């Protein structure tokens, strides 16, 4: 027993505490390193940058801004063969018009890019002579829509508006209003000063009118006591009329209603199921024809993409083929027969390991 205690005492006396201190120091340094690295990690998926320019013309100074959290190094490649920039925010001047891909590398491992179109001075002078229609992208039947425009010309004396519900001229005011009577995709056109060469157009989606839900409450209804006249009992006139009607067997009524329902009503599909089918279209395991029953075979219904672009459903399906999708919102609008009549979708596609708008 005493011999064991002596051995332990000798071990403690001869133990070099510097080794223990070194081991603890290494653990602390390692913990600080990993903690700092975790804090300073950049979310590559959400890293992006902003391009600020008045007209994006050749010879114009274009500004580039980046606000990615935890970024410490930046490398800008402007896509025109010029020298790279390494500041957080920078500027660049393109000498020639064209389409350039600007690539930003953050912390040597996060890469994001945007395509910048630089126009010539001739392109700008042509563009400012064509009016631009200002109107909402999505409206509803029965709502008043206000139309405006931007035009850089002078001496404006006439306006010719067509709102897409007919082929005729609809209005000649500078800032007209219009109430749409039918849903669907409408093409608005504007001609200024009668110059057919500077005609401009914009496509909008007119959604069906929202059905107002009404509900009666018991406290809103005044209930009066029923008073019967004295005298012999009489048959209710409604019952007397019903007795004269031909009797239809209950089974026949049921079969008629079921057949009518099957003929006119489209099957239901949830937004989650619709999203799953779109993913399968992208993987080429499904086609637009697999949506036929839900669309009542109308493949030209409008699709509003990312609140900015409208295209027919069949073209939208072609657009998705071969792409990886991240869908954040789907909204389906149906008619009285449960047929889908328009689709609203917000989504991104994966390209070069980053998610971008399609």
Domain range summary for the chain, segments of one domain joined by +? 45-123, 128-207, 271-357
Could you say which architecture CATH assigns to the domain 45-123?
Sandwich (2.60)
Percent of the chain with pLDDT over 70: 73
Q: What CA–CA distance (Å, rounded) separates 173 from 28?
A: 75
| Residue 272: both structure tokens together | 């989650």
What size, in residues, is the chain? Answer: 358
Q: Are 155 and 142 in contact (CB under 8 A)?
A: no
- What is the dotted CATH code of the domain comprising 128-207? 2.60.40.10
Distances (CA, A) of 173 to 72, 108, 169, 340: 55, 57, 11, 36
Q: Are 60 and 93 in contact (CB under 8 A)?
A: yes
Q: What CA–CA distance (Å, rounded) separates 343 from 201?
A: 22
Bridge partners for 140 per DSSP: 207
pLDDT tens digits, one per residue of 14-34 = 555 666 677 777 777 766 655
pLDDT tens digits, one per residue of 243-267 = 655 555 555 544 544 554 455 788 9
The reply to whether 45-123 and 128-207 are identical in fold is: yes
Distances (CA, A) of 155 to 51, 192, 193: 34, 10, 9
pLDDT tens digits, one per residue of 315-343 = 999 999 999 999 999 999 888 888 998 89
Full-model pTM: 0.45
CA 151 to chain centre: 29
């Amino acid at each position: 027993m005493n011999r064991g205690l002596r051995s332990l005492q000798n071990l403690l006396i001869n133990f070099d505490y510097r080794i223990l201190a070194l081991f603890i120091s290494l653990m602390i340094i390692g913990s600080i390193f990993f903690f700092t690295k975790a804090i300073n990690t950049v979310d590559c998926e959400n890293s992006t940058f902003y391009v600020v320019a008045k007209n994006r013309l050749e010879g114009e100074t274009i500004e580039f801004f980046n606000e990615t959290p935890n970024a410490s190094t930046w490398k800008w490649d402007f896509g025109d063969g010029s020298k790279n920039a390494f500041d957080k925010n920078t500027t660049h001047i393109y000498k020639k018009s064209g389409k350039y891909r600007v690539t930003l590398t953050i912390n040597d491992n996060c890469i994001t890019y945007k395509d910048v179109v630089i126009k010539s001075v001739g392109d700008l002078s042509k563009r400012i002579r064509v009016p631009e229609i200002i109107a909402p992208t999505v409206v509803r039947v029965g709502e008043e829509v206000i139309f405006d425009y931007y035009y850089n010309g002078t001496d404006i004396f006439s306006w010719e508006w067509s709102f897409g519900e007919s082929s005729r001229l609809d209005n000649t005011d500078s800032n007209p209003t219009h109430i749409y009577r039918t849903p669907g995709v409408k093409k608005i056109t504007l001609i200024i000063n009668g110059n057919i060469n500077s005609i401009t157009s914009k496509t909008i989606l007119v959604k069906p009118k929202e059905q107002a839900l009404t509900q009666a409450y018991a406290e809103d209804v005044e209930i009066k006591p029923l008073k019967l006249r004295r005298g012999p009992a009489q048959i209710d006139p409604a019952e007397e009329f019903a007795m004269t009607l031909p009797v239809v067997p209950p089974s026949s009524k049921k079969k008629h209603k079921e057949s009518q329902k099957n003929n006119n009503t489209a099957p239901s599909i949830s937004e989650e199921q619709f999203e799953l089918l779109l993913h399968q279209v992208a993987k080429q395991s499904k086609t637009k024809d697999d949506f036929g029953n839900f669309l009542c075979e109308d493949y030209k219904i409008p699709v509003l993409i990312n609140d900015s672009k409208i295209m027919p459903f069949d073209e939208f399906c072609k657009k998705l083929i071969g792409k990886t999708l991240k869908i954040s919102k789907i909204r389906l609008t149906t008619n009285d027969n449960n047929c889908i009549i328009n689709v609203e979708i917000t989504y991104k596609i994966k390209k070069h390991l980053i998610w971008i708008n399609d």
